[in-house]
Structure 1
Amino acid sequence: MVYQASQDRYNTMKYNRCGQSGLLFPALSLGLWHNFGGVDPFENGRAMLRRAFDLGITHFDLANNYGPPPGSAEEMLGSLLKTDFAPYRDELVISTKAGYHMWDGPYGEWGSKKYLIASLDQSLKRMGLDYVDIYYSHRPDPNTPLEETMGALDQIVRQGKALYIGISSYNAEQTDQAVKILDELGTPLLIHQPSYSMLNRWIEDDGLQDVLQKNGVGSIAFCPLQQGLLTNKYINGVPSDSRVAKSTGFLSEDQVTEDVMNKVKKLGAIAAERNQSLAQMALAWVLREGRITSALIGASKVSQIEENVKALDNLDFSTEELEKIEAILK
């Protein structure tokens, strides 16, 4: 059966301007880090991508090594871009990244021009695309001059292989330097992708948000639910289908501590008073004050995407609610 996107797909989603650019981002974006690889059921991933788009999620976020195996998430999306999403390519924002290990030898990771450009060429082939909308340096490289990494991103835009560029996991000082280099080159930094959640607030302490705001750079938070910790999933132990239980997951059992779970239970009580699930409140909290352009969600089933989108029904917090949350998180 041919996929036809919902006619109402833009009615419920909230869209935010990304920095000072002309690009609008959905308040929630879908990441293909987990559950879209070659080891995962194809039809489940297909159903999640379709439902996300039907709910107005127009941004799909990838990286060269997403899978497993590495590259298979891009291949999976590429197959759907030829079929289900062929009529909708220009309604989608597709991003990918390079920075972590992808192939053997000295040129298969980090931030050299050779690696970044070669990796994007491979990503474009896997997805069957002429260009991506956003290409990221996935992490800062301590051994490659920042000028070389940013110069590669600038070159990629000038070659027409990406419309915009971003960086991920750079601290405030590195980001400020990257902005200056890119401004001199004439290709502005569009967006930064840091980890950020109620349980991981490094960007506040680091001053990264101030740097981004000062320079008109957008931001998209990854792991806003702390890989599932900020849900009800682990309150009664570790489920067999959770990221902790999966050999391919990145959340370990020693992160599900008694202290963390006590905080989660208290946060859940506040969420209930707001008529939200904990996940919905956690997403709303990340998006509070408008300093984060989009929250990047992951999912293992369609119902999780549907639940997360309902967070947009209540994005406002009272001063009292924020004070209660702050007291729990300290």
Structure 2
Amino acid sequence: MNYQPAKDRYKNMIYNRVGQSGLKLPAISLGLWNNFGESDLFSNQRAMITRAFDLGITHFDLANNYGPPAGSAEENFGKILKKDLSSYLDQLIISTKAGFYMWEGPYGDWGSKKYLVSSLDQSLKRMDLNYVDIFYHHRPDPETPIEETMATLDLIVRQGKALYVGLSNYNAEQTKEAVKILKEQKTPFIIHQPSYSMFDRWIEDGLTSVLSEAGAGAIAYVPLAQGLLTNKYLKGIPEDSRAAKAHIPFLKREDISEEKLVKVVELNELAKERGQSLAQMALAWVLRQEVVTSALIGASRVSQIEDNVSTLAKLDFSQAELDQIDIILAK
């Protein structure tokens, strides 16, 4: 049976302008970092993508190395686009990135012109697209001159392979330097993708100011701290969690201290008082930051997407609630 999107899909989603650009993103976007690889169930991937669109999520975020194996998330997403969403491409925002290891030899990593151009060409082929809406440099390159990397982003736009460009994992000073070059080139830099959550507030120390001055927005990845800011870890580490999976490199059992779990429990109590799940409160907290356009969620099942989108029913915080969160986090 052919997929038909919900007719009321735009009714309840909030769309925020990205900085001072003409582009708007949904307040909740879906990232394909995990659970869209070769070994993951394709029918579940398809169900998550189509349900996300039914809920008004128009932005899907990928990277060349998402999988595993690297490239398989783009391939699977391309299949879903062709099968279910090919008639709705003009209603979607699709982004991808390059900057991490992809292939052997000296040209398959970092930020050279050779690597970025080749990688995007491969990504477009995997997804069967003529262009992406946003193309990111995934991380700063300590060896390639930043002028070369930024000039390549400009070239990619002028070639028609991306409409806008972004940066990810650049600190405040690196972003400031990149912005200066991009503005001189008149390159449509509009967005930065940093990690940001209650447990990871580094962007507040300079980056938000740089982006605000540049007229750019941010889309926060891992806003739920790899699942820590959900009800998943309230009673220890479940075997199906990211912390229990050896192939997930960013959250390990040893990272989940007793001290941190105590904070999770206290935050969960505050979320209950607000009438929200902990995940919903954590997403609302990220979106309270003025420069943050969208919170980028991951999911392993449809119900998680539905729960996350329900965040939008209550985004406001009282000053007392914000103060209480700061007290809990400072313990």
The alignment status of 1:267 with 2:252, answered yes or no, reads no
Q: How does 1:87-98 map to 2 (within 5 A)?
A: 87-98=87-98
1:139 deviates by: 0.1
Q: Residue 111 of structure 1 corresponds to which residue in structure 2? A: 111
Q: 1 CA distance for matches of 2:188 and 2:63?
A: 21
1:10 deviates by: 0.3
| Paired letter, 1:196 | Y
| Paired letter, 1:151 | A
1:314 deviates by: 0.5
Q: 2 CA distance for matches of 1:234 and 1:256?
A: 9
| Paired letter, 1:201 | R
| Paired letter, 1:96 | T
| Paired letter, 2:149 | T
Please list every run of 5 or more consecutive structure 2 residues that lacks an aligned counterpart in the other structure. none
User: How far does the alpha carbon of each residue in 1:228-282 deviate from its partner, in whole angstroms, 9 at most, with x for none?
Assistant: 0000101112212111222322311111110110000000010000000000000
Q: 2 CA distance for matches of 1:247 and 1:87?
A: 39
Q: How does 1:291-310 map to 2 (within 5 A)?
A: 291-310=291-310
| Paired letter, 2:188 | P
Q: Residue 52 of structure 2 corresponds to which residue in structure 1? A: 52
Q: 1 CA distance for matches of 2:310 and 2:81?
A: 27
Please list every run of 5 or more consecutive structure 1 residues that lacks an aligned counterpart in the other structure. none
1:183 deviates by: 0.9
Q: Find the residue that maps to 2:134 and give its secondary structure.
A: strand
Q: 1 CA distance for matches of 2:256 and 2:176?
A: 34
User: How far does the alpha carbon of each residue in 1:6-46 deviate from its partner, in whole angstroms, 9 at most, with x for none?
Assistant: 00100010000001111010001000000001011101111
Give the structure-1-normalised TM-score.
0.99
The alignment status of 1:134 with 2:134, answered yes or no, reads yes
1:73 deviates by: 0.1
Q: Residue 247 of structure 1 corresponds to which residue in structure 2? A: 246
Q: 2 CA distance for matches of 1:181 and 1:105?
A: 29
| Paired letter, 2:73 | A
Q: Residue 197 of structure 2 corresponds to which residue in structure 1? A: 197
1:140 deviates by: 0.3
| Paired letter, 2:129 | L
1:290 deviates by: 2.6
Q: Find the residue that maps to 1:260 and give its secondary structure.
A: helix
Give the structure-2-normalised TM-score.
0.98
Sequence identity percentage: 66
Q: Residue 37 of structure 2 corresponds to which residue in structure 1? A: 37
The alignment status of 1:311 with 2:311, answered yes or no, reads yes
User: How far does the alpha carbon of each residue in 1:276-330 deviate from its partner, in whole angstroms, 9 at most, with x for none?
Assistant: 0000000000001432100000000000000000111100000100000000111
User: How far does the alpha carbon of each residue in 1:206-231 deviate from its partner, in whole angstroms, 9 at most, with x for none?
Assistant: x1000000110111000000010000
Q: 2 CA distance for matches of 1:183 and 1:249?
A: 37
Q: Residue 278 of structure 1 corresponds to which residue in structure 2? A: 278
1:188 deviates by: 3.0
Q: Residue 217 of structure 1 corresponds to which residue in structure 2? A: 216
Q: 1 CA distance for matches of 2:78 and 2:95?
A: 12
Q: 2 CA distance for matches of 1:153 and 1:315?
A: 35
Q: Residue 18 of structure 2 corresponds to which residue in structure 1? A: 18
Q: 1 CA distance for matches of 2:39 and 2:234?
A: 27
Q: 2 CA distance for matches of 1:292 and 1:253?
A: 29
| Paired letter, 1:324 | Q
1:83 deviates by: 1.1
Q: Find the residue that maps to 2:328 and give its secondary structure.
A: helix
1:179–1:188 contact (8 Å) kept in structure 2:
no
2:19–2:291 contact (8 Å) kept in structure 1:
no
Q: How does 1:160-199 map to 2 (within 5 A)?
A: 160-199=160-199
| Paired letter, 2:100 | Y
Q: Residue 155 of structure 1 corresponds to which residue in structure 2? A: 155
1:94–1:132 contact (8 Å) kept in structure 2:
yes
Q: Find the residue that maps to 2:64 and give its secondary structure.
A: coil
Q: Find the residue that maps to 1:233 and give its secondary structure.
A: helix
User: How far does the alpha carbon of each residue in 1:158-194 deviate from its partner, in whole angstroms, 9 at most, with x for none?
Assistant: 0000000000010111111111101111113110000
Q: 1 CA distance for matches of 2:194 and 2:228?
A: 18
Pairwise CA RMSD: 0.7
Q: Find the residue that maps to 2:292 and give its secondary structure.
A: coil
Instruction: Using the TM superposition, name which of 164-173 and 288-297 deviates more.
Output: 288-297
1:77–1:127 contact (8 Å) kept in structure 2:
yes
User: How far does the alpha carbon of each residue in 1:136-159 deviate from its partner, in whole angstroms, 9 at most, with x for none?
Assistant: 000000101100000000000000
Q: 2 CA distance for matches of 1:238 and 1:44?
A: 24
The alignment status of 1:70 with 2:70, answered yes or no, reads yes
